[in-house]
Each structure stands twice: as C-alpha cells, then as structure tokens.
Structure 1
Amino acid sequence: MKENIFISTSTSSDDETSCHSMEQNLNASQEIYSVNNVILDLLKLQSIFSNCESLIKQSQAPDFSEEIFLIETHSLCISLKNISTELETKCSQLLSSIEANRGNIISKNRSELISTDPSDNRKYNDDELRYLVDCGPNHEFLSSYPQNLQLKKKGKQCSFSSSWYKDFPYLEYSVKKDAVFCFSCRLFGAGPGAEKSQEVWSFKGISSWSKMTGSGGKMVKHFKSTAHMSSENRLLNFSQKKTNIDLMLIGGQREVDRKREQLLKLNEKIVITLLDVARFLSRQALSFQGDGNSEGNFVATIDLLRRHDPVLDQWFKDSSLRPYHVTYLHHDSQNELITLLGRAVQQAILNDIHKAQFISVTVDSTTDISNKEIYTIVIRFVKDFIAQERMISVMELNSKVGENISQSYDNALNMSGVNQGVQACLNKHLNRTILYIPCGVHSTNLVVKHGSSISIEYINFFGILQELYNFFEMSAKRHSLLCKNLSETEFGILVKDLSRTRWSDRYEAVRAVYISHKQIVDTLQEISENDSVKTTRQTAENLKNK
C-alpha cells in the first residue's frame, strides 16, 4: 500500500510528529527488509556461479561423464532461472514502492499539507498545481482491494481493479475513501464546459463498482463527456504554460552560461598573451620592470600589443568593471608570471632528467659584480644521443664550507678537501665511502699551469704577452692605432689578457699574437717613431725588439 508522507513548514503537535516519525520508520524498515532479500538472492546467484567453475573443471577431468555433467548443468540452469525471476520480481516491487512513497512538497503560500490522495481535494494555488501535475494521477497498486459484499452477493463487480488504469490514464484511486476520481476534473474541473453532475468525479468519488466498464459504463461516459474534455484541455494548457516557463528559465540560464563561457575564454586568451610577453622578455634576457616611475619593458610591450589588438585593448579598458580592477600589470603579477614560467621550464628539465639513464651533477660558485658568492647546479645528461646540459639552480652562497653545497668534481679545496670538502661531507652524511673522481680537464689545467711556472722561457714568453696587452689597453690612443692596423687585414685579432686559472685562455692570447704578429710589430714601430712621449717610444721599441 502506498503511504503518503506529508511535509509542512508549520510546527505540528507532538502527537502528529510522533505518528509521522513512526510512519517513516515503518516504511524504512519495510524497504530495508526488501533490500536484504535482494542481497540474499544475489548471494545465491554468486554461489551458483561458483558452481559453474567446478563444472568447467569437471569437464576437464580424466573420468569425465557427459551424462552427469549435463544433468548437473541442467539443474543449475533451473536454479539460476528461478532465482533470477524471483530477484527481478522483488526489484520491481521495491522500485514501485520507492516511487509510490515519494513525499509531497511543501506548500509555498500556505501551511496546509499537500496530499496526493484524491479524497483530500481542495482548491490549490499555481505552485501546488504544478507539483500535483508533476506527480500525475494517483495510481495505487495493491495486492487486493476492499470488496463490496452486497455487490459480491449479487455476482456483480464488487471492488476496484488496477487494470482500469491502462484504459483510463486519468483515473485515480483513493485508499482512504475506497473510491475513484478523475485527475483532470479534480484539479481543473472549474471553468467553461463544467457541469455540476460531474462533481462526483471531483470531490465525492465513485465507490459503486457495478456498471463501471463497458460501452455504457460510468467510466466510458465520463471520460467522453464534455465536462471531462474541457478539464483535460485546461490541464494540457496549464502543462504547456509550465513548460514554456521552464524553457524560458532554461534559456535564461543557458544565456548566462554562454556569457560566462565567453568570459572564461577571453580571460584565458589574455593570460596566455601576458605569459607570451613574459616568455619573450625572459628569452631575450630583458628586464621587466623600470626604475622609479618608468613603466618598464613588460608594460611597454603590452601597450604595443594593445595598439594592434582591439580585444586586448578593450579588456584593459574594462578593468574598472571587474572585481578589484585587476589588470595583472603590477610588479607582483609580473613576478608571479616569471615564477610560473620558471616552474614550467624546471619541470620540463626534470622530466628529461628522469628519463635519462645516467646523469652527472656539477656545482660551482663564483663572485659576481656585487661581491656575492653565487653558486650554480648543472645537470649533464644524454637525450636522443645528444649531450645536454641544464642549469637547474642559481642561488647565493653564504659560506664556502662544503656542508652548504652539493656534489661537484672540481679540484678546489672546498670540493676535494678531506675534512670540509664536499666529497668528505658526502661520506659522512651517507655513512659510507663514495668514490671521488676529480675533474680531468681541471686537473690537466693545474698540471700544465704549475709545470710551466718553473720554466724561465715560459715565464718570459707569457710575460711579454701580458706587457703587450697592458701597453695597448692602458691607452685609448694606442688601442685605437692597433685596431686601425688590424682592420686592414681580414684575420686580425686583438691581444688578449692572460687568465690566472684557465690554460685555454692563455692559448687564445698566444693565438692572437701569432695571427696578428705583423700588425702588432708595425704598430709598435709607428709608436716608437711618432709618439710625443719619450717613455712611450722607448717602451714600444723594447717590446718590438723582444
């Protein structure tokens, strides 16, 4: 039996609340019981399926008997069919019960309860009518209906039949009154074409079950009457009106969603443009922000793009319409864009490193122009058979003690030291001996440097190179004269300073003098003859003779 669940905004009495709670608990216990039955049937099916596995194994046995196998399989199929049929019936009944026990909504304008039972009919407002129309006719499906004993004695139709719903979809049955009503006449009976004689289908209900069916039966006469046709038309018009309102609401929501989607796409385009500008400036190693009141390269580049992109220009003009008037041109926003790009680049590098089978880590530090010790971490790996080097970190180093820096293969004392060097710190930190491999190139450079320093010829030779460099670079006049003579030849190279640590830099200094030897001698000759300063003429003559 269908139970009506009432919902009200008004405060009900203690008795009503108690009855209401008891009714809900009763319904809940019935539903749980039905669900438990379904679960039990599923467990039975699970057991049958496990028997299928044993039958399959049985068919592979050496003493396999076809007759026994077929008999057991046939028995299993019968059990499976019976349980499946019973399970389907229980699920259908449970779903019907859930659908039938859906509660009624709260009346928006009145504290009276809305019941779906047709015997509780009254005058409804538009909101209540919409709810009842959504619910549809009250079709009660019971296992048995109350019988009229007097009609039964006479051998006539003595009870309601749920099969009538199929032929007359607007027919309703009231459990409270054991009577039938007309759904459309009950809700929309008042109006043009209504007849007082039809009020029995709207308010009183019909409980005399004789002569209900047939060509001249009560139901056929009513549902073909003018009064019913009029109420049915009013019901359809009301439903159409409701549908139109819903469509208008849906259309309005769609328009809001469409505008929101357009705004999201526009904002996405703007952010991509800002990221592209930040990427361009970073790639070209250009500064973002200006000094003092100057706008800087970032804002200037955006202004340039705005002149050629009306959409971008309008977005910035509409900044006053947005919350907080955001434009993302503030230096904090610029720093955030730089951070995002840096993270993306670093993540791409890390992805390549994770895919590499072997990597090497190099850490080095040097003092920059502001006298800060800056250290870098460089990862070397192979990608697509090509050696790659990527710098993953650049930070200030507050101390050159090995415990503050990472792995390296340099021969510097802070790297190779047996006490505070990196290689020693790694051994202590990991509590095991790690093979220390000095940098081969750096070792070669140190050997050549210290080996050559004991040779008088080496000292004199590179001393002359340094004197040449100092002589020309300490005077703009002499430097200009040398450049003039070098420009007359295709392969002229300026003299180079000597590096204190890198042998390769000294090679470049020797190469410059070797290639430009004639132009250097000619320049020294010209200075020794024409310069107005006596000491300069003497120095040039001495260098030329060396």
Structure 2
Amino acid sequence: MDKFLNLKRKSPSTDDIHLDDMPHDPGERKRIHEYDHNQIDEVRRKYLTRGPCQLRGHSFKQRVISGALRRFNPSWFDQYGDWLEYSVKKEKAYCFFCYLFSNEKKSGSVGFVTEGFDSWNKSDRLAGHVGAVNSFHNIAKKKCEDLMRQVDAARYLLKQGLPFRAHDETVDSSSKGNFLELVKYTAAQNEDVSKVVLKNAPGNNQMVSHPIQKDIVNCFLEEVINSIVQEMDNDVFALLVDESADCSMKEQMAIVFRFVDKHGMVKERFVGLIHVKDTCSLSLKSGIDSLLAKYSLSLKKVRGQGYNGAGNMRGEFNGLRALISKENSSAYYVHCFAHQLQLVVVAVAKKHFEVRDFFDKISLLVNVVAASCKRKDKMREIQRDIIEKGISNGEIKTGKGLNQESSLPRPGITRWGYQYKTLLRLIEMFSSVDEMLMYVEDEGADLTQRSQANGLLKYIHTFDSFCKKHDTGILNMEDDFIDPRKPRKKTNITNLHHYQFNFFYTVLDMELQEFNGRFNEVNSELLVCTSALSPTGSFREFDKEKLLRLAKFYPEDFSVMECISLKQQLDIYIDNVRRDERFTDLKHLGDLSRLMVETKKNLSQPLVYRLLKLSLTLPVATATVERCFSGMKIVKTVLRNRIGDQFLSDCCFIEKKIFEDVANETVIKRFQAMSERRVHL
C-alpha cells in the first residue's frame, strides 16, 4: 500500500531512541552524525546532562610503552575534568566536546574522537588537543555551553528579583515578559541557540510555558536548599522564625537556620517562605514540621529558637516556643537582642517625663519644618545656601560623597534607631532648621503654626551644643538649679546634680529594671556561662565552673562521662590557647571557632569545640529573617500580587552566593527527573 500511496515513513521519534539507554562508555557510542538530524540536539542535551564518562575509582590497565609500564593517570580527570573521558571497553581516552559536535567532514582530532588516545607517556598531547582559542575543541566547548543557555534566563531573573511573565504574551505583543524576551535576546545573539528555541523548536515542546518556568525556578531552589543541608552536615542548628503579611494580605512565615559549618563559620541560611492560614502557634508549628520533614531534618537537632516578642511566638504555655520545647528541652528560646534593646529604650523614653517631652517636641519640630512639599523645598534651598557659603569660606570640605542633599526623617514610634537617626540629622542640619523655623514664624499660614515655630525656636536655643555657635547663654553646671515650675524657691542643688541624678541615673535605673523584666533566669544563666568562652584579653573571662554548668544545659549532647572528660579537656584547652600566639588577638567567639578548626584543636579537644558550637548556635538577633521579608516585598508587589505561594517562596532568593554556585547541569538533571518530558531542556 505504501508503494501506491507514495507515503514517506516517519523517522523514529525521540522516545524510540530511548535516551536513557544510550551508552555512557565513549567506546560503545555511535557517531553523533549517525543519529537522525531532528534528534541530534536532544541526544547532545542528554549527554551534556550526564557529563563526561570519568571512572575515578577504576583500576586502569597497564601496558608496556617504550620499555616501561604505563597507564591512564586519574589526576588528568582533575586537570581536564570538563572534557576528558575514559572508555573501559577500549581502554582509551576521548574528548567529550569534540564527540558531540563532530561530523562526517570535520571531527577535530581523530585521536580523541574516533580512534581514541592511549599514548600514556605523551601527556602533553592532552594540552595540545585543547589548542588555541579558535581550535575545533574550544568551538565545540562553546557550542555545548550555548545549548544550556535557556536556563540562564531563569537564573538572571531570579538573581535580580524580576518578574517572569507579562500581561500579554501573545505573538503580536510588543512585550512578552522578561523570560521570553531574554530567551529571544539570547537566541538573537547566538545562531546555535536560535536553531533550537522558540519558533524553531517543535510547536508542543518549546519549553517556555508557565509550568515549565515554575519547574525550573523550583529546581534552583531545591539545589540551593540541598547545599544548605549539606553545609549543616546533620549537626545541631537553631530556628529563626518570623511572620508578616505580604501585599495580598496573606500571612507568610519565613524560616532561617543558624548553624556552625565544618570550617567553624557561623552561618544563617534562609530556607523558605511558608503560607500559613492563621498565626496561631499550632499553624506555625505545623509549617515548621512539614519543612523539616521535607528535607529529612529532625526537631531533636534544634538547639535554639529566635523569635520576636509576639505572644503567639514567645508564649510560655501555648506559644510556638512552648510547643517546640515540649519535644526538645534543649531548644532554648532567646528573644532577639536587637528587638529587646529597642523595646527597652523606647519604653524608658516614654516613662520618664522630661525625656518623653523632649521627643514629643522633636516630633513636633519635624512636622512644622517638613509639613508640606513647599516647606521641604524651602528647607533644601536653605541647606544648599548654607553649604555653598561654608564651602566658599573654607569651613566645609568638598569631595566625593560629601555634602549630599539630606532631609529631616520622621522619628519612629517603636524603633529607637529611627529616633537616633533623627537626632543625628538634626545636629547636622541645625542651622537650616533654625532658619526654617524663623521663616515659619514670620510666614506661617495661621497663628497656630507661627506660635509652634516660636516655641520651638526658644526650646532648641537652650541646647548647650549649639550655644557657642549661635551666641546664646551657656548653662553653668555649678550654678544653683532653678526649677522652672517654682522659679522663686531655692532648690539647694546644682545644675550638675539635677541633670546627673534626676535624669541620667534615673534613666539608667529604669533601663536596668526593664532588662531584668525581659530576661528570664535560664536565658541570663546561658548568657553568663557563654561569656566564659570569650577569647578577649587572653581569655581573661575563662571560668571552668561556668562552662561545666553550661554543658549541663545540654544533656542530649553531654553524657555524665563526657562531662567528666570535659573538665579535663578544659584545663588542657586553656593552657594551649594561652600559649599559642595565634589566639592572642581574637575578639569574637566566631573567630575562636574558625581558628580552632584551622589549627585542628577541634579534633584534640572535641568536647570543648562542641560546647563552643552550641554557644554559637544560640540566636541573638533575627535580622536575617527581617531581610527575607525585604526580599519578599521586592518579588511580590502591588502590580505583581497574584503570584502563587510556592512560586513566591521559590523566587525569594536571599542566599545569592550559594545560588551562583549552582550549576546549570544539576538544575537540568533535577528538571528532567521531575516528570516525563517530551524533549530534554
């Protein structure tokens, strides 16, 4: 029937070739040009995903060459690891790149493609095979790299936190989204890439659909987290958790692991965002359990918990802290030190009447000076005139980065850092603020604004730090203090006594009371015992009894016999480090841990090093988790608010250094293993 209908038989499909069954040994492969023309790129991608055939544990056969026994040197795999491969069947070496892009007319070096190389006494031919920049080998290598370029589009967008898609990705659209436009641009720059992507790829196998993009992104994330898990090396770690709402008002929980790696370096690694339906402790605990189970991590390895001060996190009975502590008593909770300090200083500033009055006036000053765009522009003009005058008089230096345009930031209500920044900027711009208040006093829109400016002018002119500059009276600290509420009554105290005892000492006492109320006995004891490991001042804080008490906090890490051995190791340890000059200038526990690994003291005093690791694992701040939410806000915006929860977690790449080390080949291998594909990426 075919004879009469003159039908052309179809070439065998990719599935008929059985890509997974293609021989790995280069001596058993058929020539690349013998495959069907439409399937050569699929075969090349499959081999590139596998990589060159390198049998590093193989016992290579010896033979006599020039009167001596010679064999293949396994170290050549390290020297030429990207292209050199070995055939067990033929006992010869081949070039991986030249094989993939050889043809009937041009095959590069015949000895490394068809016949094979076995002159083991002439190793210089390996370097000679690579040749110059335009050699057949280097051209073939570049073509291999070009075939893997489609993944680079996803890599670039992930690294920069850019959106993948556009509203309209049809053929007639002028902007089809960043992913498609990047693939299109890459194809336009490289002829080999353009032959196998977009319109030149099979219509139902272009590998650019939305699900394909999500799969590629997820592969990058999984490779990054696998690298983090390998860094942890099944050792103890701490959990840093925080939750925040995204722009779609969905609660997202960020999780960070804190641990000490095999080099003694303290690492804090972001591992993902998890959407939780509510912020109760049970929901948060369930999300953490699912993440740990996914990567085969145990809650028994947790040695610290770091959260903010929310009740659902730090609750002693029903909070997340309590739920984890029930399963692991060694997972000690430490409230973020930075957050604690913020709360203490802000609370004291509100309790002390004079201090609170001072910051209220600062807030009023910012409102008066920068109440409208017109006043902000006027403020900039005044500041510019003052700077120009100072430069012309030689009072202000010029240079790169100096004398930049600045403004008076609004002080934060709950963040002492914002209030401190406002005070620093007020000192820097005092002359401009003073002149601006005089302008508002004269040109204010109503009587209220003018009276506020007048009162603020009188108030700021009492600041001692500016009295000399503005020719105002300076307060003599030895004079008698005059109470402004009762100016005629003698107080019988000096100004120094009033400000020192009624202000400075009072505020210090209030801060100490706040700190004592925010740290429980266990946390205080942990911190006191940990300080005995400090290397500052030639280990002057070293206290063996405190360190032995610290070990008792971790019964799962130190048995009774190990505690006895630890006592002996501590004596040897302190004697060694005080005698060793390399340990004299250390300032932090992290430096001590790193140097112990470098000097192999972690092997000679393993129990001391274990105690040091446990101390470093305790979380002291949750700044890393806060940075995760900053990354989330870059990825998910008001104009990009429909992004899914899993895709959002995959796109929030905080660990960019690990991300850059992920090879395209490993991503492609994972991508191919996710599901059955018609073609290979």
What is the TM-score of this pair, normalised by structure 1?
0.48
Higher relative contact order (CA 8 A, sep 6+): 2
- Identify the structure with the greater helix proportion: 1
Q: Which structure has the greater CA radius of gyration?
A: 1
